[in-house]
Amino acid sequence: MKRNKIIFVLLIVIFFIVLFYYYWGSTIIEFDVCDDNVHVSWYKNEDGEYYFFLPKEMSRESLSVELKFIFSSVSVDSYQENRSFIEKISMEDKCSSFQYDTFLVQAKSFFSRKREYIIHVMQSDLPSVFLDIDGGDSSFQKILSDDIWHRVSYPGNITAFGSDSSVFTNPVKKIRGRGNSTWLREKKPFQISFSKEVSLLGMKKSKKWVLLANHWDGSLSRNYLWLTLANKMGIDYSVDCVPSDLYINHHYMGSYLITNKVEASPSSIPLEDGYLFEIMNQSIHDLELEHGYQINIHYPNIKKMSLSRANQVKQDALEYLNHIESLLYDTHVSLNELDDFIDIDSFIKYYWIQELSENYDVSRGSNFLYVQDNRLHIGPVWDMDNTLNRSYYYANTREHYILNNSRLASRSLENWFQVLFQKEGFADLIDDYYKNHVELFHQLVSSFDDYQTLISQSATMNYVRWSYDKMRKEQIRPWLENDVSFHTSCILLRESLLNRLDYYDKQYANDS
């Protein structure tokens, strides 16, 4: 009797093993495509179809594959969409199937049912950045699970392929997340740092680099548009930026904008005895000024100081900024006298970036200030994805923004620009700057058009990897109803930009 029970149990076990093998024996659990430099893993969408997002550097005619199965001895064949046979896929041979934008893969092993996979192949022509994190996907998941304080980081390695076919490889000291509200979205931004200053993708050297996801912006263009304009306007210490496809541990992460980080350093903002501040609308901040500005101190680094020393630095910084603010609000202090204490030219340039872009966060978030040579400067420009019709969708593109229709005005708060306009001569300087740089501002349209052409393939890949509709639903503030795709987002942004420029052209049309 006991022997019969054992036999019965064994038969049941064998039955389930055979059943499992039949259904899952030809399952592909990993499918990577490789060349001599990098390899890329496939991506499965919600419909069960698979995508390979290839970087520019990969030649689709001469790729090899790496396959892993639940069981061994699996035969893999590929077919065109019309079921015409292409080839038997082997890890020993080059694979020509990737010449097709869509092909079918059939996997079959002895006694298992045939499994079929629909493969889509897409390729970008942007530069690409590959990050390999020490510890693999386990370490990467810990970074992704971190909170907005970003205490989790891992070392790794980077390979960056430039638009000029250059290849840069280097160890990375730290790979971590970055951002506050942007970190809480599905597509996440990152920061990488090196042990020494390096140049990425032809940009000026820096130790720290930011990988912007632009998940607030359906056009993937706003940060590039305004950061590039800041450079052309000659705003001191403006960041460089280059669009790139990002891969982490062989997984395609999307279309990103790579920039050097704004910080006090020889390669960013060289400071010795001065300050680097950031105006931030956060509940936790280092200083709060009389008229509502909430300030964080980035330099000196008070986090590395003793409590008493940090408190002294904060007190000194507060006294300094209160003094500057008192001069701003003092009606007896002329603009010329004020220029001894703040760099008026930097405020004029910064004003036009914020005014033309209708930045939702103007004077309330991600606005940097630094003290150099005993004068307060505003800039460099940063965090420009909340601009034009992006989230402040009810902003009127045909009126003054900072003075009449800004987020600050809606909160009945003053800002330093509003105070500066009360100084005799400041409005004239503002007007003169636009009239003297109207051609530069109008180049925004052609720059935008060129950029859309440049990133179009990358953007198409990005919105296969990250659903546009799902991205819209993640936003804090609603988008325009007809902003439903990368294409429509670009059209709307272009229209807003043209309206903005046309409004100011008409304001100055009768001026000599």
Number of independent structural domains in the chain: 3
Q: For residue 19, what pLDDT is reported?
A: 45
Do 298 and 422 share a structural domain? yes
Q: Are 40 and 53 in contact (CB under 8 A)?
A: yes
Determine, yes or no, domain membership for 255: yes
Q: What are phi and psi of 112, to 5 degrees?
A: -100, 155
In a domain, 479, yes or no: no
Quickly list H helices, 124-185.
136-144
Q: Is residue 149 part of a domain?
A: yes
Q: CA 295, CA 305: separation in Å to the nearest integer?
A: 18
Instruction: Note whether 146 and 178 are same-domain residues.
Output: yes
| Residue 105: inside a domain | yes
Continuous segment of H or E residues that includes residue 167: strand 167-177
CB atoms near residue 231 (< 10 Å): 14
Contact in structure between 195 and 215 (CB atoms under 8 Å): no
Same domain, 112 and 133: no
Output the pTM of the full model: 0.93
Location of structure tokens 């907005």:
148
Q: What integer pLDDT is reported at residue 114 of this predicted model?
A: 78
Same domain, 281 and 394: yes
Among the candidates 67, 101, 120, a domain finishes at 120
Q: Is residue 104 part of a domain?
A: yes
- What does each of the 512 residues of the chain score in pLDDT, given as a tens digit? 667 677 766 766 665 545 444 444 446 667 889 988 889 999 999 888 999 999 999 999 889 998 886 666 678 889 999 999 999 988 878 899 999 999 999 888 766 677 888 999 999 999 999 999 999 999 999 999 999 999 999 999 999 999 998 999 999 999 999 998 889 999 999 999 999 999 999 999 999 999 999 998 999 999 999 999 999 999 999 999 999 999 999 999 999 999 999 999 999 999 989 999 999 877 789 999 988 889 999 999 999 999 999 999 999 999 999 999 999 999 999 999 999 999 999 999 999 999 999 998 888 889 999 999 999 999 999 999 989 887 555 568 888 888 876 665 555 566 899 999 999 999 999 999 999 999 999 999 999 999 999 999 999 999 999 999 999 988 877 788 889 999 999 999 999 999 999 999 999 997 75
| Omega before 380 within 30 of 0, i.e. cis | yes
CA count, 13 A, side-chain hemisphere, 258: 27
DSSP-H helix ranges across 330-425 = 335-338, 344-357, 407-410, 416-420
Helix axes 344-357, 426-436, angle to 10 degrees: 60
Domain match, 142 and 69 both = no
Please report the pLDDT score of residue 8 as a whole number: 62
pLDDT for 394 equals: 58
Last residue of one domain, picked from the residues 194, 229, 260: 260
Residue 28's domain spans which residues? 2-120
Within 10 A of 41 (CB to CB), how many other CB atoms are there?
17
pLDDT at 365: 85
Question: Quick check: is 446 in a domain?
Answer: no
Residues 285, 240 share a domain: no
Check residue 412 and report its DSSP letter.
Answer: T
Alpha helices in 358-425 (DSSP H): 407-410, 416-420
Q: Please, which residues have CB within 8 angstroms of residue 309's CB and are 6 or more apart in sequence?
A: 302
* Residues 322 and 411 placed together within one structural domain of the fold: yes
Residues 235, 328, single domain; the answer is no
- Residue 431: other Cβ atoms inside 10 A: 14
Tell me, yes or no, whether 266 lies in a domain. Answer: no
Q: Is the dihedral of CA 213, 219, 222, 225 positive or negative?
A: positive
Contact 378, 347 (CB under 8 A): yes
Domain end: 203, 235, 260, which one? 260
Is 156 found in the same domain as 252? yes
Query: What span, in angstroms and rounded, lies between the C-alpha atoms of 66 and 57?
Result: 18
Same domain, 282 and 419: yes
Is residue 487 a contact partner of residue 459, using CB atoms and an 8 Å limit?
A: no
414 & 340 share domain? yes
Nearest to 387 by CA among 306, 448, 468: 448
- Asked whether residue 46 falls in the same domain as residue 6, the answer is yes
Residue 142 lies in a domain: yes
